[in-house]
Structure 1
Amino acid sequence: MDHEPVPDVARVRLALEAGGFVDLSRVPALRLTEPLRITRPTVIIGGDLTAPEGAAALEVTSSQVQIVGARIRGSATRGSTRDPGQILVHAHGCRESSVVGCTVDHVLYAGVMCLPCCQVLVADNEISDIPLTPGTVDGYGIAFSDAGNTEAARSRNCRAVRNTIRIVDREGIDTHGGLAIRITDNVIVGCARGIAVVSGNQTRRMSPQQCLVARNRIGAAGARTAPLEAVAFRGIEGTRPPGPSGTTWSTAIAGRTRSGRPPGHGPGAPSRVSAAWGSAGAEGRSSSADGP
């Protein structure tokens, strides 16, 4: 099928430069050779976009932007390896933003990555099929992470609510050193680790603080990789503050034991407990803890 010629892409770019209401619902599918840049308050309705190789489809640097009903495809196919440059929607300066009601399928690193963000809501999304590929050791359904080893560089006051996350070969929902991250009422199935509230690897020095994990349902069925913890809540030696803090309760865990092993793979009966304690798609960035 032929894709829309360059002049139509050029008209879309001109519309986005002007900002305001941009209706792409009747525009034929567009294969982009460079990102569409949104630098003014804009509402995009509809659209069928294929991102350029190794780059974003939409690059957002303005406040007051809404993207509703768009279909965005990347260049990955079955068997592809991760291209760090391809972030389908790349929003800079994320503060008081929302990712709501999206469907994300077969991405090679994260469904929604907040790096770092402040007061971001990620709710009512369906995220599935995030495989590990050669050279990649991590993958996330939703992550609230950091951009450096400082207090200012951590994600804070963010929420993951009522999301359904399936078949992620590493972690369903994650925060590395987050502050006041709330993870509630999510369904997480077939992920190696359900929820991780952690400091991260040895390069990170901040412990997660004041985090809440509540009323989530976590199951191991369908996992493609060896099961880890249902919920991991931990820091590492030498982090600041000295250890993680927060609360977890009313989390239903099916098909795992406290060690994270499924029934029949180690001692102990299947457990429905508040947490299984361990010891260890879109991206938003802000230039500081509060965003620009």
Structure 2
Amino acid sequence: MRNEAAGHGPGTVGRRALLIGGAGAAAAAVTTRGAPSAAWADAADCAVTRHDDAGAATLDEALAAVPEGGTLTVTRPWSRAAPLVVDRPVTIVFSGAGRLTMTADVAAIEVRAGGVTLRDVVLAGTSGSRTGLGRGIVAAGTVEAPIDGLRVEGATITGFTHDGIFASFCRSFTIAGCTIGDVAYAGVLMLSCSYGVVRDCTIDGVNQPSPYVNSYGVIVSRDDTVPLAQAPRSSMILIDSNTVSGVASWEGIDTHAGEGIVVTGNTVRDCRVGIAMVPCKHEVDRGSTLWAPLDVVVSGNTVERVGLDVPGAGIVVKGAGDTVGSAAERATGVVVDNVVRGHGGGSEGGIVLYLTRDVIVSGNAFESCVGSALVLYHSNDAVMLLRNSATVLRPASPGGAMAVVTVRSGANTGTISSTRFEAGGDAPARPVRGVAVGLAGNELDLLGNDWSQTDLAVWGSKSVVNRYGDGA
């Protein structure tokens, strides 16, 4: 199922590069390919033709006076009920009192051309507590004619009834240093985008009003109602050093069937699920999933709960399919060096995996997770859990047992090595198990773990658990 149409062409971060080079190599590859071309950079930064809105009757009139490669500086507050359409390569900068306030639920700025830079724009919608089609910035290309070289830098976007920034069929784009809040559905929403960067943004307050059933801080996805040829996977996108908070009903950072998506150095706080690398639905059978996330990297993030206490994973990686042992496409990638605090509860855990193949989970630190630090739900083939540590576990229900690793169902194979638990504090909650395997159909090798502060190293006898130099 790996083909050019699905985004497996030249330049893709290979599986070997991900696992050998790690997040650094993957991020470097994405950043290199994601950098805007010199031509666009020159047009944005070295333009000699500059205009402002000082004497314009309308903002459209002011923009119409700007030639390709020129710059429009918006210095006044404007109210509009229709989008400002940008149809050629220009730079728009907001300065001083420059502000665009929308009086209708439509896009504030609509980009229809490549090479556009939007810098320090200030956009306000009608409300982030209602549903609608209000969007701060829209850049929508097509599979035949994608938009290249979009740059959105330093934007402040609030109060829109759908999302802050919407990009579809965009390539070599940068979204950086933006502040987005009080939106209804998503902070940054990308569909079938490639070679892009979302960096140093702050997203706080994604409200999910009824009847929206989900919401996201940053989402990298595709239109799953049509085949891959019409809506390819999003690929080679770096999500780096952002702060995402207050997505209380759904997910902070997400990809649906993305490939080569690198999520690194972010802080995700008080979201029901912190980071979700999950499949997309089948375009015909809407009750099932078809395409999995591939070659993803989740590295060096801090995922925590401070004021939110509902069941939800800190990080979840899930492939396509639903049943135990499904033959559908499996998720692949690495989850390394993250800190997960306070997540879990119910059947969840700090990190949850299912329907994966060859996934490496290494060097993660779990603090005060609820019920389980790591959960292998089902159908994880050749998973490797290495050098992870858990400090303090809290029971999901009063008196309930806890485990560093919980294997909830069947068809899990792999290795757990160099993992340890520290009880921490006074009178820690008990009982704590190292590995809990309650059902048959799993085969795990345990090597050199430290279970000295657990009450029981291995709980359950129905599956095959081989221990080699494994701690008490």
TM-score bin (small chain): 0.7 to 0.9
Report the TM-score when normalising by structure 2.
0.52
Query: Does 1:59 find its partner at 2:143?
Result: no
- Report % sequence identity: 27
For residue 151 of structure 1, the aligned residue among 209, 228, 231 is 228
Match of 2:317 in 1: 233
Where 1:12 maps in the other structure, the secondary structure is: helix
Write the distance in 2 (CA, Å) between the matches of 1:40 and 1:248. Answer: 41
Match of 1:87 in 2: 135
Where 1:229 maps in the other structure, the secondary structure is: coil
Say whether the 8 Å CA contact 1:167–1:222 is kept in structure 2. Answer: no
1:270–1:48 distance in 2 versus 1, CA, 3 Å: farther
> Which structure shows the higher strand fraction?
2
1:5–1:55 distance in 2 versus 1, CA, 3 Å: farther
* Count of aligned residue pairs for this structure pair: 264
Match of 2:65 in 1: 15
Match of 1:211 in 2: 296
Where 2:58 maps in the other structure, the secondary structure is: helix
User: Deviation digits for residues 136-189 of structure 1, max 9, x if unmatched?
Assistant: 111111010011353342111111000001111211100001011000010000
Match of 1:42 in 2: 90
| Alpha-carbon distance, 1:244 to partner | 0.7
Write the distance in 1 (CA, Å) between the matches of 2:102 and 2:176. Answer: 21
Match of 2:126 in 1: 75
1:52–1:62 distance in 2 versus 1, CA, 3 Å: farther
Deviates further, 183-192 or 142-151: 142-151
Write the distance in 2 (CA, Å) between the matches of 1:221 and 1:198. Answer: 25
Say whether the 8 Å CA contact 1:168–1:192 is kept in structure 2. Answer: yes
Say whether the 8 Å CA contact 2:290–2:329 is kept in structure 1. Answer: no
| Alpha-carbon distance, 1:265 to partner | 3.0
Write the distance in 2 (CA, Å) between the matches of 1:81 and 1:161. Answer: 29
Where 2:187 maps in the other structure, the secondary structure is: strand
Query: Does 1:198 find its partner at 2:278?
Result: yes
Where 1:179 maps in the other structure, the secondary structure is: coil
Write the distance in 2 (CA, Å) between the matches of 1:166 and 1:142. Answer: 11
**Alignment of structure 1 residues 139-288 onto 2, 5 Å:** 139-148=215-224, 149-152=226-229, 153-169=232-248, 170-201=250-281, 203=286, 204-223=289-308, 226-237=310-321, 242-257=329-344, 259-260=349-350, 262=370, 263-266=394-397, 267-268=401-402
Say whether the 8 Å CA contact 2:281–2:291 is kept in structure 1. Answer: no
Write the distance in 1 (CA, Å) between the matches of 2:212 and 2:182. Answer: 15
| Alpha-carbon distance, 1:54 to partner | 1.8
Deviates further, 255-264 or 94-103: 255-264
Deviates further, 142-151 or 152-161: 142-151
Q: Which amino acid aligns with 2:340?
A: I
Say whether the 8 Å CA contact 2:68–2:89 is kept in structure 1. Answer: no
Say whether the 8 Å CA contact 1:17–1:38 is kept in structure 2. Answer: no
Larger relative contact order, structure 1 or 2 (CA cutoff 8 Å, min sep 6):
1
TM-align CA RMSD: 2.7
Q: Which protein has the larger Cα radius of gyration, Structure 1 or Structure 2?
A: 2
Where 2:139 maps in the other structure, the secondary structure is: strand
